């Protein structure tokens, strides 16, 4: 019920208005009634005054008459002679003459001598008047005393339960010889006469209360049935203030005033009443008019409220509809702003809100389909786009859909070492470069963190290949990010519809596989080949073969000597893994190590490597070959918390000293998870092993950062050393790296030494250790043993080595 | 004036060896007015009557009885001369003497003999304001007071009951005192009256001044 706001508003306003009207009407009516009451009271008071004068006048008349009669000589003579029967007949005569209702003769002492009693009717009939209660004292002593003082007394008093107008006068002969008391009973006629003297139509009653408090109404102008009601209404009522009495269903303003009388009598009251109904009669039409006015006002308020409510509710409904539209995602229809009020402002805000929601939704939708860093579509968008192309290929491509993924090499490392801001900037630069390089109509997306995707519109494979070559070539130069040059290399993998897949996701997976293939082959661009797919069963079987190979001894270490440059003596070897596959032949580590890392087989490989290297160390020690063996650890190995313990166990098992082992770790391996890596490195370092940063210079770690690692050595990457003698830039780089390393307390190893000149330079710079083909290629263990004892770097062929070193000296300058 | 002569006459007639009573009458802490009458009655003596033919006068003049109070001895004839130009109708319903002198004109006079002790209230039937009292006593020793005092003289030695009377005295408040009078001696008697507030129906206030 009343669910509508409009209905409730209307009801509220109308109810409020009706209440106000009712209150007003009540107040006006109460005011008028009060006023009438006051008027009536005043009129009653005035009437009371008139009444008093009226009573006085009548009693005066009575007193006059009585006095005259009392001085009638014959009467006086009769009284003086005390002839009782004469007295009675004289009283009778007197009663008839002045129409008295009761006459009493009192002795001077106040004893009733003769009394006609109250049998007025008997007197009227001419019967002999009976003697009343003679010899009883006259009750109203006040009156006789007053008569004695003033010659007469008049009063209204209650005698034998009736109200009389009483007059007491002396009978003078010529001095008072007796008192005569004449009583006129106050009846309805008297009340009627009193009313006639009033200017307003008041009702007059006379009454008194007996000792029990019951009222007797003896004289009244009101109808007989109402008298008992009046008597009942007056019972136990305070009489001092005007009151309103309900008699027979009508209200009467009532003033009750005591009539002066002798103290010995019950007090007689004059009861003056004024009917409120009568008084209100002139106002009745006013009340009707007020009611009509109130009714009209309420009707008007209803109409007004309905209009106002509609004017409020209508725009609210509009807002309601607008909100529903927003709910279902329709933001185009605006709420009309019709008024410059709260509703108008709300509508305006509503519209702004709608725009805001639309904007944000658009943004969210955009974000859901775009990469926030580059602003390019993301993988979701890419897949949708490719799916769209599959369904509806562009005409120019003749039904061919070509998807290329471009992986940014070493992006994770760049992020970790130079920070994500730099990484993001790099990606933005690359995305910008891509946009420049791609053929028109190419859809560019960021497929993954380090990967872009292109959906090419090309007519054939040739066009596609040419485009990709151009793109890859575009990033041959280092990219400048905030003043530092970053080498970027892209590797592209291509998958084509329909030959490489019929679903967008499959095409992307296959393009990813193609990237892997390209990296394995050292190519910049590769097209998907089902046979090379690492996810294919062939790859899985290779991992199986790897495990078998480990068991069957297909893996071997080749040892490349490391020479103390200053002394020209072999001090250590780097153990390099070789897999002699029975069918595929020599397998380069680049081919199977990443695969082993990905498939979780690296642990087996590492375990083999450590066991083999440590066992070899023991064997060589026993043969008197004093070299330390360096073993490469992969990033995964650094995640293994048990690695230090494993190594310690192996060293103990083979009784090899901790200092005999050098562990080489690449920068990127540490950067993959620096926290875990650091823990493992610290444990290893604490055990007394030498830790060496491999391939130093290819990553982005600063020397300062390396200083915080528990490492003792850096290995300058061979790419800097290979052309050391011919490239001044590399020379400066190497020299400064060596100096910085030394300054930080690190030893420096240079690998990739290919000629004597490089060796000499490194010696001049104070590089501690050298490694490279100039010294020796990696050798099987047996061959190394020969090399150790026979070569010019042999620490056991002292004289010759010294001689050669002397020969070489001038070339170093 | 006439009264004073009477008293003098009465006192003189008793001869030698006579004493006197000096009476002071007060009413309400003041000397009583001149309407008061003092009377001395010899103890155990029978009521004394005047010589037949002794007269006194109660005049009707300007609708007034004059004097207001007329004390007389038993047996006195009181004349009622009408000095007004209109008629009066003198009456009394008093038990001591009930009589009625029906209307008689100015210049006329009627006489009534008072042969019974007591107070006679006089009225005129046609003039309600007219009122006077005749006080009939059975002793020759009486007089109205003057300024609340009077001397009863020429009393033979003996025991007397002295009382004072006033027309306005309250019923039952009669006061008297018994005194012994010696020859040539004067006895002082003080009497007190209790008066009521009498309401005289008089046209003027000249009543008392009229004596």
Give the model confidence (pLDDT) of A625-681 as tens digits.
999 999 999 888 888 888 999 999 999 999 999 889 999 988 777 777 777 888 888
Nearest-5° angle of CA A805, CA A806, CA A810? 105
- Mark which residues 15-54 of B lie under 8 Å from A by CB: none
B37 has a pLDDT exceeding 70: yes
Q: Strand A569-581 to strand A585-587: parallel, antiparallel, or no bridges (unpaired)? A: antiparallel
pLDDT digits (tens, 9 = 90+) for A533-572: 555 555 667 778 888 888 888 999 999 999 999 999 999 9
**With an 8 Å Cβ cutoff, are B121 and A81 in contact?**
no
**With an 8 Å Cβ cutoff, are B123 and A77 in contact?**
no
- Peptide bond before residue A595 is cis, with ω within 30 degrees of 0: no
The answer to whether the beta carbons of residues A217 and A230 sit under 8 Å apart is yes
- What does the pLDDT read at residue A562? 94
Q: Quick check: is A399 in a domain?
A: yes
Q: Identify the three-state secondary structure at position A237.
A: coil
**With an 8 Å Cβ cutoff, are B128 and A177 in contact?**
no
- Domain-wise residue ranges, chain B: 2-199
pLDDT digits (tens, 9 = 90+) for A492-517: 999 888 788 888 888 888 888 888 88
List the single range of A18-32, A477-491, A614-628 with lowest mean pLDDT.
A477-491
Cα-based distances in Å from A785 to A568, A574, A622, A625, A752: 17, 14, 12, 8, 21
A806 has a pLDDT exceeding 70: no
Please indicate, yes or no, whether residues A653 and A691 belong to a single structural domain of this protein: yes
Give the closest-approach CA distance of A276 to chain B in angstroms.
50
Distance CA A628, CA A561 (A): 10
| Best residue in A86, A175, A176, A178 for a mutation probing chain B (most B CBs within 10 Å) | A175
The answer to whether the beta carbons of residues A718 and A738 sit under 8 Å apart is no
Residues in chain B within 8 Å Cβ distance of A150? 199
How many other CB atoms are found less than 10 A from the CB of residue A597?
Answer: 17
Tell me whether B199 touches chain A (CB under 8 Å).
yes
**Which CATH number characterizes residue A564's domain?**
3.20.20.450
Please indicate, yes or no, whether residues A88 and A160 belong to a single structural domain of this protein: yes
- What does the pLDDT read at residue B132? 92
pLDDT class of B198 with cuts at 50, 70, 90: low
Please indicate, yes or no, whether residues A393 and A502 belong to a single structural domain of this protein: yes
| Best residue in B60, B88, B92, B93 for a mutation probing chain A (most A CBs within 10 Å) | B93
Residues in chain B within 8 Å Cβ distance of A173? 91-94, 121, 123
Please indicate, yes or no, whether residues A562 and A505 belong to a single structural domain of this protein: no
Q: Which residue has the tokens 């690998």?
A: A751
Q: Quick check: is A675 in a domain?
A: yes
What is the SS3 assignment for A118-155? CCHHHHHCCCCCCCCCCCCECCCHHHHHHHHHHCCEEE
- What does the pLDDT read at residue A254? 85
Higher pLDDT, B121 or A441: B121
Nearest of A587, A629, A637, A635 to residue A607 by alpha carbon = A637
pLDDT class of B59 with cuts at 50, 70, 90: very high
Q: What are residue A469's phi and psi, to 5 degrees?
A: -65, -40
End-to-end CA distance of chain B: 8
- What does the pLDDT read at residue A1? 52
Residues in chain A within 8 Å Cβ distance of B128? 71, 172, 174
| Torsion sign (Cα): A780, A781, A784, A785 | negative
Distance CA A748, CA A711 (A): 11
Torsion, Cα of A582, A583, A588, A593 (10° steps): -80
**With an 8 Å Cβ cutoff, are A108 and B171 in contact?**
yes
How many CB pairs (< 8 A) connect A and B?
Answer: 37
Please indicate, yes or no, whether residues A417 and A457 belong to a single structural domain of this protein: yes
Q: Which residues does A380 contact at the CB level (< 8 Å), separation at least 6?
A: A368, A369
Residues in chain A within 8 Å Cβ distance of B196? 148
- What does the pLDDT read at residue A615? 94
- What does the pLDDT read at residue A537? 53
| B201: closest chain A residue by CA | A151
- Mark which residues 171-190 of B lie under 8 Å from A by CB: 171
Nearest of A108, A257, A95, A114 to residue A185 by alpha carbon = A95
Please indicate, yes or no, whether residues A517 and A617 belong to a single structural domain of this protein: no
A801 has a pLDDT exceeding 60: no
Please indicate, yes or no, whether residues A521 and A609 belong to a single structural domain of this protein: no
Contacts of A359-364 with C-beta under 8 Å, sequence gap 24+, read A361/A329, A361/A331
What share of chain A in percent tops pLDDT 70? 93
Tell me the DSSP string of A349-418: HHHHHHHHHHHHHHHHHHHHHB-TTT--B-HHHHHHHHHHHHHS--GGGTT-EEEEEEEETTHHHHHHHH
Q: Quick check: is A575 in a domain?
A: no
**With an 8 Å Cβ cutoff, are A108 and B124 in contact?**
no
Please name the helix (run of DSSP H) or strand (run of DSSP E) that holds residue A30, with its range, or none. helix A5-70
Give the closest-approach CA distance of A157 to chain B in angstroms.
26
Mean pLDDT of chain A: 82
ipTM of the complex in this document: 0.71
Please indicate, yes or no, whether residues A688 and A790 belong to a single structural domain of this protein: yes
How many domains, in total, are found in chain A? 3
Please indicate, yes or no, whether residues A82 and A167 belong to a single structural domain of this protein: yes
Nearest of A247, A203, A251 to residue A228 by alpha carbon = A247
Please tell me the CATH superfamily of domain B2-199, with its number.
Cupredoxins -  blue copper proteins (2.60.40.420)
What is the SS3 assignment for chain B? CHHHHHHHHHHHHCCCCEEEEEEEEEECCEECCCCCEEEEEECCCCCCECCCCCEEECEEECCEEECCEEEEEECEEEEEEECCCCCEEEEECCCCCCEEEEEECCCCEEEEEECCCEEEEEEECCEEEEEEEEEEECCCEEEECECCEEEEEEEECEEEEEEEECCCECCCCCEEEEEEECCCCEEEEEEEECECCCCCCCCCCCCHHHC
Residues in chain B within 8 Å Cβ distance of A175? 121, 123, 131, 167
**Which CATH number characterizes residue A409's domain?**
3.30.70.270
**With an 8 Å Cβ cutoff, are B201 and A71 in contact?**
no
Distance CA A808, CA B137 (A): 204
Residues in chain A within 8 Å Cβ distance of B131? 174-175
- Mark which residues 88-117 of B lie under 8 Å from A by CB: 91-94, 98
Order of all β-strands in the sheet with B118-124 = B69-73, B127-137, B118-124, B88-92, B99-104
- Cβ burial, residue B94 (10 Å; 0-12/13-18/19+): buried
Q: Strand A490-497 to strand A525-527: parallel, antiparallel, or no bridges (unpaired)? A: parallel
Q: Quick check: is A480 in a domain?
A: yes
Q: Quick check: is A219 in a domain?
A: no
B103 has a pLDDT exceeding 60: yes
**With an 8 Å Cβ cutoff, are B122 and A73 in contact?**
no
What is the SS3 assignment for A265-315? CCCEEEEEEEEHHHHHHHHHHHHHHHHHHHHHHHHHHHHHHHHHHHHHHHH
**With an 8 Å Cβ cutoff, are A149 and B199 in contact?**
yes
Residues in chain A within 8 Å Cβ distance of B121? 173-175
Tokens of A93: 């005569």
Distance CA A489, CA A466 (A): 17
Please indicate, yes or no, whether residues A525 and A559 belong to a single structural domain of this protein: no
Q: Which residues does A402 contact at the CB level (< 8 Å), separation at least 6?
A: A455, A456, A458, A464, A494, A495, A496, A497
| Torsion sign (Cα): A528, A529, A531, A532 | negative
pLDDT class of A53 with cuts at 50, 70, 90: confident
**With an 8 Å Cβ cutoff, are B131 and A175 in contact?**
yes
Please list the alpha-helical segments (H only) found in A766-797: 781-790
**With an 8 Å Cβ cutoff, are A177 and B171 in contact?**
no
User: What is the rounded average pLDDT of the residues A208-221?
Assistant: 85
- What does the pLDDT read at residue A132? 46
A83 has a pLDDT exceeding 80: no
- What does the pLDDT read at residue A535? 54
Distance CA A752, CA B198 (A): 170
| Best residue in A152, A153, A174 for a mutation probing chain B (most B CBs within 10 Å) | A174
- What does the pLDDT read at residue A701? 64
Nearest of A668, A703, A525 to residue A594 by alpha carbon = A668
| B127: closest chain A residue by CA | A174
Q: Quick check: is A209 in a domain?
A: no
Please indicate, yes or no, whether residues A607 and A636 belong to a single structural domain of this protein: yes
The domain containing residue A435 runs over which residues? 370-535
Order of all β-strands in the sheet with A112-115 = A112-115, A102-107, A176-185, A162-172, A153-159
| Torsion sign (Cα): B166, B171, B173, B176 | positive
Give the closest-approach CA distance of B184 to chain A in angstroms.
41
- What does the pLDDT read at residue A654? 92
Please indicate, yes or no, whether residues A622 and A748 belong to a single structural domain of this protein: yes
pLDDT digits (tens, 9 = 90+) for A585-603: 787 787 788 778 777 788 8
A741 has a pLDDT exceeding 90: no
Higher pLDDT, A520 or A164: A164
Q: Quick check: is A548 in a domain?
A: no
User: What is the rounded average pLDDT of the residues A293-319?
Assistant: 84
A769 has a pLDDT exceeding 70: yes
Q: Which of A76, A108, A151 sits opposite B93 (nearest CB)?
A: A76
User: What is the rounded average pLDDT of the residues B104-123?
Assistant: 87
List the single range of A135-139, A223-227, A503-507, B23-27 with lowest mean pLDDT.
A135-139
Give the closest-approach CA distance of B189 to chain A in angstroms.
30
List the single range of A44-48, A329-333, A446-450, A487-491 with lowest mean pLDDT.
A44-48
List the single range of A564-568, A580-584, A714-718 with lowest mean pLDDT.
A580-584
């Amino acid at each position: 019920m009343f669910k509508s706001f409009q209905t409730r508003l209307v009801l509220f306003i109308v109810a409020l208005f009706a209440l106000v009207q009712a209150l007003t009407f009540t107040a006006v009516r109460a005011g008028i009634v009060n006023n009438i009451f006051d008027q009536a009271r005043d009129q009653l008071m005035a009437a009371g005054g008139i009444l008093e004068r009226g009573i006085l006048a009548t009693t005066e008349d009575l007193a006059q008459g009585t006095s005259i009669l009392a001085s009638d000589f014959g009467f006086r003579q009769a009284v003086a002679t005390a002839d009782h029967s004469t007295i009675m007949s004289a009283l009778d005569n007197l009663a008839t003459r002045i129409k008295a209702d009761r006459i009493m003769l009192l002795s001077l002492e106040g004893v009733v001598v003769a009394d006609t009693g109250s049998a007025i009717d008997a007197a009227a009939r001419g019967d002999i008047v009976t003697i009343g209660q003679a010899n009883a004292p006259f009750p109203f002593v006040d009156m006789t005393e007053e008569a004695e003082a003033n010659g007469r007394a008049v009063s209204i008093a209650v005698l034998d339960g009736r109200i009389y107008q009483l007059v007491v006068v002396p009978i003078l002969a010529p001095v008072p010889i007796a008192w005569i008391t004449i009583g006129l009973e106050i009846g309805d006629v008297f009340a009627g006469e009193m009313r006639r003297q009033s200017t307003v139509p008041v009702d007059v009653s006379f009454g008194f209360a007996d000792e029990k408090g019951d009222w007797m109404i003896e004289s009244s102008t009101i109808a007989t049935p109402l008298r008992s009601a009046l008597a009942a209404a007056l019972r136990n009522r305070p009489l001092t203030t005007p009151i309103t009495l309900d008699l027979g269903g009508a209200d009467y303003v009532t003033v009750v005033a005591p009539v002066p009388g002798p103290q010995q009598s019950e007090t007689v009251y004059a009861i003056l009443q004024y009917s409120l109904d009568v008084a209100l009669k002139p106002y009745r039409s006013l009340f009707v008019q007020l009611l009509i006015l109130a009714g009209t006002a309420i009707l008007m308020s209803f109409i007004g409220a309905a209009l106002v409510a509609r004017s409020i509710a209508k725009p609210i409904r509009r807002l309601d509809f607008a909100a529903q539209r927003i709910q279902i995602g329709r933001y185009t229809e605006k709420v009309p702003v019709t008024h410059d009020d709260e509703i108008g402002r709300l509508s305006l805000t509503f519209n702004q809100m709608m725009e805001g929601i639309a904007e944000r939704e658009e943004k969210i939708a955009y974000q859901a389909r775009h990469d926030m860093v580059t602003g390019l579509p993301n993988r979701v968008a890419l897949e949708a786009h490719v799916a769209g192309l599959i369904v509806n290929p562009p005409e120019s491509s003749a039904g061919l859909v070509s998807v290329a993924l471009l992986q940014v090499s070493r992006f994770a490392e760049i992020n970790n070492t130079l920070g994500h801001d730099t990484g993001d900037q790099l990606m933005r630069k690359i995305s910008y470069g891509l946009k420049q390089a791609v053929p028109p109509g190419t859809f560019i997306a960021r497929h993954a963190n380090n990967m872009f995707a292109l959906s090419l519109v090309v007519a054939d494979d040739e066009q596609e290949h040419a485009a990709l070559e151009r793109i890859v070539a575009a990033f041959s130069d280092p990219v400048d990010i905030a003043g530092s040059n970053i080498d970027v290399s892209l590797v592209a993998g291509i998958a084509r519809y329909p030959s490489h897949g019929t679903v967008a996701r499959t095409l992307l997976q296959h393009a990813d596989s193609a990237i892997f293939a390209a990296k394995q082959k050292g190519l910049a661009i590769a097209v998907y080949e089902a046979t090379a797919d690492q996810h294919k069963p062939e790859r899985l079987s290779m991992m199986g073969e790897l495990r078998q190979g480990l068991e069957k001894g297909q893996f071997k270490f080749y040892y490349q000597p490391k020479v103390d440059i200053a002394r020209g003596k072999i001090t250590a070897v780097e153990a390099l893994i070789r897999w002699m596959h029975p069918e595929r032949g020599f397998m380069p580590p680049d081919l199977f190590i990443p695969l082993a890392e990905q498939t979780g087989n690296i642990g087996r490989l590492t375990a083999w490597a450590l066991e083999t290297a440590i066992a070899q160390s023991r064997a060589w020690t026993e043969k008197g070959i004093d070299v330390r063996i360096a073993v490469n650890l992969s990033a995964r190995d650094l995640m293994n918390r048990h690695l230090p313990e494993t190594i310690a166990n192996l060293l103990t098992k083979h009784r090899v000293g901790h200092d005999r082992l050098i562990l080489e770790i690449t920068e990127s391996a540490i950067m993959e998870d620096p926290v875990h890596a650091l823990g493992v490195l610290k444990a290893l370092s604490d055990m007394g092993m030498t830790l060496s940063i491999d391939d130093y210079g290819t990553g982005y770690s600063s020397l300062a950062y390396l200083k915080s690692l528990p490492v003792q050595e850096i290995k300058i990457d061979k790419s800097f050393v290979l052309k050391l003698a011919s490239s001044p830039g590399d020379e400066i780089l190497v020299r400064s790296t060596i100096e910085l390393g030394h300054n930080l307390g690190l030893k420096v190893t240079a690998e990739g030494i290919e000629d004597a000149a490089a060796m000499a330079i490194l010696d001049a710079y104070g590089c501690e250790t050298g490694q490279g083909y100039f010294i020796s290629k990696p050798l099987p263990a047996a061959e190394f043993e020969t090399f150790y004892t026979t070569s010019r770097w042999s620490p056991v062929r002292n004289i010759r080595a010294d001689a050669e070193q002397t020969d070489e000296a001038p070339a170093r300058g | 004036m006439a009264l004073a002569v009477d008293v003098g006459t009465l006192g003189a007639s008793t001869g030698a060896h006579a004493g006197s009573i000096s009476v002071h009458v007060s009413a309400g802490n003041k000397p009583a007015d001149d309407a008061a009458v003092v009377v001395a009655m010899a103890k155990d003596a029978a009521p004394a009557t005047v010589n037949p033919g002794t007269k006194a006068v109660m005049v009707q003049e300007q609708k007034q009885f004059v004097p207001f109070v007329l004390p007389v001895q038993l047996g006195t004839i009181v004349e009622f001369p009408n000095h007004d130009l209109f008629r009066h109708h003198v009456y009394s319903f008093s038990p001591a003497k009930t009589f009625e002198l029906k209307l008689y004109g100015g210049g006329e006079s009627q006489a009534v003999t008072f042969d019974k002790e007591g107070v006679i209230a006089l009225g005129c039937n046609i003039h309600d304001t007219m009122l006077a009292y005749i006080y009939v006593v059975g002793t020759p020793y009486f007089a109205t007071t003057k300024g609340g005092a009077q001397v009863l003289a020429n009393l033979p030695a003996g025991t007397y009951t002295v009382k004072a009377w006033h027309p306005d005295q309250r019923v039952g408040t009669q006061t008297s005192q018994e005194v012994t009078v010696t020859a040539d001696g004067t006895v002082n008697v003080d009497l007190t009256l209790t008066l009521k507030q009498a309401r005289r129906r008089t046209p003027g206030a000249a009543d008392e001044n009229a004596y």
